[in-house]
Amino acid sequence: MRSLVVGISLVLSFGAGSCKPNAGSSCEKGEARCIDGKHELACEAGKFIETPCSGPRGCSTSEQGTSCDFSGDKPGDPCSADDEGAATCNSKDTMLACHGALYGIVPCRGSKGCALAEGRAACDTSIAQLNDACRDEGLKACASDGLQVLICKDHAMSTFYPCRGANGCSTNAGKLSCDTSIAKLGDPCDKKMEGQAFSCTPDGASILQCKGGAFTLDETCKSGQKCLVDGSSTHCAKPEKK
């Protein structure tokens, strides 16, 4: 798998009399050869395919192997399915990543944007928008409006659960926080919060609990009482007179 701006792949020597490989020729996983300065033969499922190396370093061969700079490739350009997840930053806030044998753009909407760290593309996906392309299944992010948590499903960001409390959804030092102190009956919730998350309904008439992946009724407040959140405690009580 290539995760560097310049992908390094194995080069196998061909003995005298061997035919020059081309697209469709047999190969071993990780094997690659330069066609010219801007194109590479990359191995995919035991057969060579042609892929572009449109970055400024192009395609070159050294003792370390074949080097393909795909930083200049475009969305929709082919990549080897064997290189699934290979990625590079193509701008300060977008990442070019190989998925399903094609390159695609992954937005990096978080404050850190996209940056190279130890030769790997680091994309800040802590903030996202609905239907954004994503690389890691199950990845969670705050929606850009701060009103809900999104989750990566089938390589697209989808609605997960709302953050109806005053603090909405926020991230700090890579940690996501969703204010679920307010919820509606039937709102989805993270199963990891099961039995731990209690919320007030918007009208303050009831306490809800995260159960089975959704907020269910836990307690209906008595007449004259309201659901109140006091620190980590959610309970029914008479509201203080102002």
Q: Is 231 exposed, middle or buried (0-12, 13-18, 19+ CB in 10 A)?
A: exposed
The overall pTM is greater than 0.85: no
Q: Is 170 exposed, middle or buried (0-12, 13-18, 19+ CB in 10 A)?
A: middle
Of 240 and 141, which is predicted with more confidence? Answer: 141
Share of the chain above pLDDT 90, in %: 75
Q: What is the dihedral of CA 8, 9, 13, 14, to 10 degrees?
A: -130
Share of the chain above pLDDT 70, in %: 92
Q: What is the pLDDT of residue 6?
A: 43
Adjacent-strand bridge partners of 228: 235
Find the mean pLDDT for residues 61-82: 93
Give me the count of residues in the chain: 242
Of 99, 70, 71, nearest to 84 by C-alpha is 99
Q: Is 209 exposed, middle or buried (0-12, 13-18, 19+ CB in 10 A)?
A: buried
pLDDT tier, 19 (very low <50, low <70, confident <90, very high otherwise): low
pLDDT in tens, 142-192: 999 999 999 999 989 999 999 999 999 999 887 999 999 999 999 999 988
